[in-house]
Amino acid sequence: MKITFQEWIQIIRSPLLALAFISLIQTGQAADPTERKPVILTDRARQLHQQCLVIDGHNDLPWTMREKAASSFKQADIALPQPQFHTDIPRLKQGNVGAQFWSAYVPSETQKERRSAHYTLEQIDLIHRMIKRYPETFEMASTADDIERIHKSGKIASMIGVEGGHSIENSLSLLRIFYGLGVRYMTLTHSDSLDWADSATDTAISDGLSPFGEEVVRTMNQLGMLVDISHVSPATMEDVLRVSTAPVIASHSSARAIADHARNVPDEILVKMKQNGGVIMVNYFSGFVVPESARQMTEMFHIRRKLKQKYPDETDYNREYKRWQSNHKMKPGTIHDVVDHIDHIVKVAGVEHVGIGSDFDGVSTLPAQLEDVSTYPLITQALLDRGYSDQQIKLIMGQNLMRVLRQAEQVSKQLQQNPN
């Protein structure tokens, strides 16, 4: 935004205009995103970032390992740089990652063959194998106290998130088994609606949660497993917030008021998330955070579904989907687009209700300066640049999620002591 000399005079002479202009600068809305300069990392931000417990709510490295390295850490040793991935150990250390939710994702289509649970167990096994293979770097965490202890030891505390309720194949027993294997959140749907929960990117079946869907939420509360509302429809979000007695999370979602994509969280839900005590962990995918790219990507899930119906052979589908992608290239945007979402969630829900959920290794396009897991310090710098305090940045980087974990653990204890 360019301001003439006369406009500067008006701003200086009017206290109200001056306050409004300062507010615009602090919320990042004063400048056109295309004109905003790259973030420059300072020693001040480096030092502050080292003091933060950095927790990322969603990383899809396990699926990338399955797809690109046959689930073999011999084929892709992440102790060494792996430039074809967004994630490897050297860059995790550069990013000062303190805790990570590793996604046990399998495609929604696996439910047609009733193989979702089978493949999910394989992904959970892959995560356990990764932690055992690199014990100097990773350690499995079960509780918030575990995260603190592991972080203090210099390792990355690791938890598992199951991405999509199709993985439990309508079985509460499987849900409990997953919890026993280290799963500490479940995203209720992925891109397809289930017969008990509606997705944001598919036709509604239950207008939110079915009675069984409500039972899934209550069981997760009893276990101490976080309920994740990323990917679900607004009606499902409403039902979850009505039923859950523990704070919920959106492990990798952004603000719909900034980028109008169905995967993002509407303002009315942000207000209710504040009342619930939950956390929205901001996604980095350009197609969800850059306004123009979000408009381009609105049809992505529908296109993928249509192509899979038309081309049942995986090779044919991949070829046609890549062709579609090549004709629908999105603008990657910049780090400022992501911080705009953080700003908006802070404005609507409060700074105590926002976190980071990058979606690294699960997305095709990332904003400039957020290309991999080494870049978390730049978020700290960008927040400093926008006037956030040290304590506010520590909340966003991980303390908010720690609070939610502890509250969910407390609810679980209370429900187990008083099952009725």
Residues with catalytic roles: 58, 60, 163, 190, 231, 252, 359
Burial of 245 per CB tally in 10 Å (0-12, 13-18, 19+): middle
Cα–Cα separations (whole angstroms), residue 360 to 28, 151, 252, 311, 366? 24, 21, 10, 28, 9
CB 291 within 8 A of CB 260: yes
Q: Which residues make Cβ contacts (< 8 Å) with residue 29, sequence separation at least 6?
A: 340
φ, ψ (nearest 5 deg) of residue 281? -100, 115
Burial of 47 per CB tally in 10 Å (0-12, 13-18, 19+): exposed
CB 176 within 8 A of CB 223: yes
SS3 39: coil
Give me 110's structure tokens.
């696996």
Nearest in space to 221 (alpha carbons), one of 193, 168, 184 = 184
Give me 32's structure tokens.
């056109």
Give me 182's structure tokens.
């280290």
Give me 115's structure tokens.
């193989």
Nearest in space to 181 (alpha carbons), one of 119, 105, 123, 227 = 123
